[in-house]
Each structure stands twice: as structure tokens, then as C-alpha cells.
Copies of this chain bind each other. A is one copy, B any other.
């Protein structure tokens, strides 16, 4: 009885060796296709330079829907379609103005309203400033906050290697700062930009008044890091200085918008769906080339790579360009609502929403057994300098997906430069390197290819 068993083992072994080599070759083709024959950089050029900023509800967001749909239609999908939804429409209005008066010297401050903020009175708002390093500090100030502008000035901590950790430790000041200060009678809030550099760019981003009654809303804005340093320094010698803020932003009625979806039916398991995506909307201060033009065109490039190398997925592949990640998340919600209504089975979702920088790895949301299986794929990624596989957040747009045993992942690019540009006027096309963008697209395609090949094994874990 021994002989047959040995033979079988040999057969299995050669099969595994063959399988591995075939996979390695396909992944080599994927990277080569992306670095030599990709469209993602040209798509990003168009999205950034011919369309521009794409805040939800804007004309540009609509143009981006139509443009990406038309481009997806050239890539051989079985079906390209839109998913309609209502999205919030917030408009910035006139360029904001801020300055402080240090005795008689007027010091102008680079400023931008935070997304969702109300306007100041037309003539602006003038008040003394209370500087705090955290929302928790507000309580100690008690009544003194009444009638003042609260200035949140806790910097991002430089010592984290992953800059998103520093962002996570800071962003409550931007998101909830106005709501909390309003409760204590502040007339406005300003926040130090979420930026690790000292420079002159104010960084916008979403904020929420939560369940505060509308009558208690107060205007809120971000100031540049250089301005935050200067204001803080000046307050030490002149704590009674007056700060002036004028902004005319407003929340309009919700308007119609769309997710854009391209679908390739799975050749073996059409009922099992893999999603790859990024978000079409951006903030309004710049092109949003990193956030998240990069993720959009990389997701589209995955389909282009598969087309170029002739790879037909076994499972259904959907490229999903989500709308309204920045200030509402309605695109992700709508996608999941329709998935549930259609009783769809999603097995994998991959998002790119951390910038178009050199890819370093993946952040994976799964149970330990699945994670440990995925980590065994590291060896095939290492020739492409992809080493970092960690458990963690995947992406905001795919967060609502609840299919049973779905695996989610986020592309992890190098994060050092991300917050230099995030939500600021310098998040433009020239800040994206073509090769870094293409390597990210290839890394996503390679992960989808491996998941497509091995989902049955992974899922059995």
C-alpha cells in the first residue's frame, strides 16, 4: 500500500510547485502590465486636471461619475451601471477670512471652513480665544468658554511610524470639537490642521454637530499648522487678543448622485462577489489626487490589468467607485443596501483610500485563521517589496458590507507624506508619482488574483 501513497504525494507536490510557479508568473505579469501598460495615471490626470475637485453634489462630482463610467465601458466589463442615491451638498461659498489682532497688528491666518460647518454672520465673528489641547480640557474652563472661540491645538504626534495613528489620535478635535464647545457656549471653534508638517495649508475635513439643536450650531474652521503655532505663541503674551473669522458656507438640500459599478461575471462562481474600490468624491480645496483619485484609478486599473493579461476571474469582480465617502458615506451605505436587497454574497472587498504612494502591504479585517492564511501569501509579494500584512481597518466605503464571512482589506501605501496633502489645496496631480500609483494598482490586482484563486481554501480556515 505504500507505493500508491508516495506517488500521490509526489503528484500533489509537483502540482503545488507548479501552482506556485504559475501564480508567481501571473503576479509578475500583473506588475509588468501595470508598470508598462497602465491607464491609471492618464485617468488620474483627467480626473484631477480636466475635472478637478469633486465634492459630493457638485457639478464636478457628476462629471466624474460620467467620465469614469465611460472609461469603465472601454474595459470589457459584462455590465457597467450606476447606483443612485441622495447625497448631502455642502458649499463653501466665498473664500474664508481669518486674522487676529495682536495689539494693533493684524495677522492674517490661512483658514478654511470645516465640512458641514455653518457660516459666521455676514460681517464675521470676533471673539477672544481659549486654547485647549483636547476636548476633555473644556470642562475645566467652564463658564469662561461662553462667548469665546475655542482653539484646538493638539498636534499630530510625529513619533508614530504609521501616520494614520497620529491622525486617529487627533481628529476628534476636528470632528467633534465644535459640538462640544457649543454645549459650553463657545461662539466658534478653530482647529489646528491635521498635518505633520509646519506649513501654510489649512486642511478641511468633516465635522459633526451630532444631536445638537440647530439653534446651537457654531461656525468651525481649520487653520494652518504655522498659524496654529503663531497664534499659540501670541496668546502666551496676549491672552486677550481678538480673533476674526468670516465664512459663508452652507448646507443645501440633498441632491441625486451615484456610485459607478463595473462588473465581470465570475466564470466559476458568479454568485460570489469580490469588490475593489475607492471613492469618487473629494474635498473641494483641490483635485483630491491622493484622496481618493488614486484609489479610483487604481481600482479601474485592476480591471485593465486583468484585461491586458487575459485573466478571467472565477468569482464575480466588481469595480466600485463610491460616492460621498468624505461627508456622509452614502455611497457605501447604498451599495450595502442594494447588496442586501439582492441577497448578494460578497466574499472579499478591497479598498484603496490611503493615497497613491508606494504600496507597503495590506490592512486586513478578518478572523485570525483567515488572516494567518493570507499572511502565507507574503512570500509571493516580497519580490515587489510588499511586506506589511497587519490586522486592522480596511476602508470606510466597504465598512457597511455585512455579507457572512466576507474578508475585507485596505491597501497600505507608505504613509509618511499622506498628511502633507490630506484635504488641503496641495492634494494635486503633481503630488502623485506615476510608478508609485501603478505599483499600488498592481498590488491590489495581485491580492484580488490570489483571493480569486484561493478563496475556498481561505474561507475553510
Contacts and interface: CB of A to CB of B under 8 A. Distances in A.
B414 A358 contact: yes
Contacts of A159: 31-32, 35-36
A417 B433 contact: yes
B384 A385 contact: no
Contact of A161 (B197, B385, B416): B385
A145 B417 CA distance: 49
Nearest to A435: B416
Contact of A439 (B32, B35, B161, B436): B161
A452 B110 CA distance: 48
A416 B387 contact: no
A310 interface: no
Given A358-B414, A414-B414, A433-B416, A158 B36 contact: yes
Contacts of A382: 387
A188 to B, nearest CB: 32
A158 B414 contact: no
Interface in A395-452: 414, 416-417, 420, 433-436, 439
A446 to B, nearest CB: 12
Interface in A5-36: 31-32, 35-36
A35 B158 contact: yes
A384 B433 CA distance: 23
B416 A197 contact: no
Contact of A436 (B32, B385, B416, B435): B416
Q: How large is the interface on A (under 10, 10 to 19, 20 to 34, 35 or more residues)?
A: 20 to 34
Interface string A30-73: 01100110000000000000000000000000000000000000
A83 interface: no
Given A196-B435, A387-B387, A416-B433, A161 B31 contact: yes
B385 A385 contact: no
Taken together, the copies of this chain in the complex come to 2
A242 to B, nearest CB: 34
Nearest to A414: B358
A388 interface: yes
Given A159-B36, A383-B161, A358 B416 contact: yes
A265 interface: no
A243 to B, nearest CB: 29
Given A35-B158, A435-B158, A436-B416, A385 B383 contact: no
A32 to B, nearest CB: 5
A119 to B, nearest CB: 35
A196 B436 CA distance: 12
A346 interface: no
A36 B160 CA distance: 10
A382 B35 CA distance: 27
Nearest to A198: B434
A14 to B, nearest CB: 29
Contacts of A388: 385, 387
A197 B36 CA distance: 12
A116 B35 CA distance: 34
Interface string A349-388: 0000000001010000000000000000000001111011
Interface string A221-254: 0000000000000000000000000000000000
29 contacts: A31-B159, A31-B161, A32-B159, A35-B158, A35-B159, A36-B158, A36-B159, A158-B435, A161-B383, A161-B384, A161-B385, A163-B435, A196-B435, A358-B358, A358-B414, A358-B416, A360-B385, A382-B387, A385-B388, A385-B414, A387-B387, A414-B414, A416-B433, A416-B435, A416-B436, A416-B439, A417-B433, A417-B435, A417-B436
In the complex, the 3 A-B pairs of residues with the closest C-beta atoms, listed nearest first: A387-B387, A416-B435, A35-B158
Given A35-B158, A358-B414, 9 more contacts: A36-B159, A161-B384, A161-B385, A163-B435, A385-B388, A387-B387, A416-B439, A417-B433, A417-B436
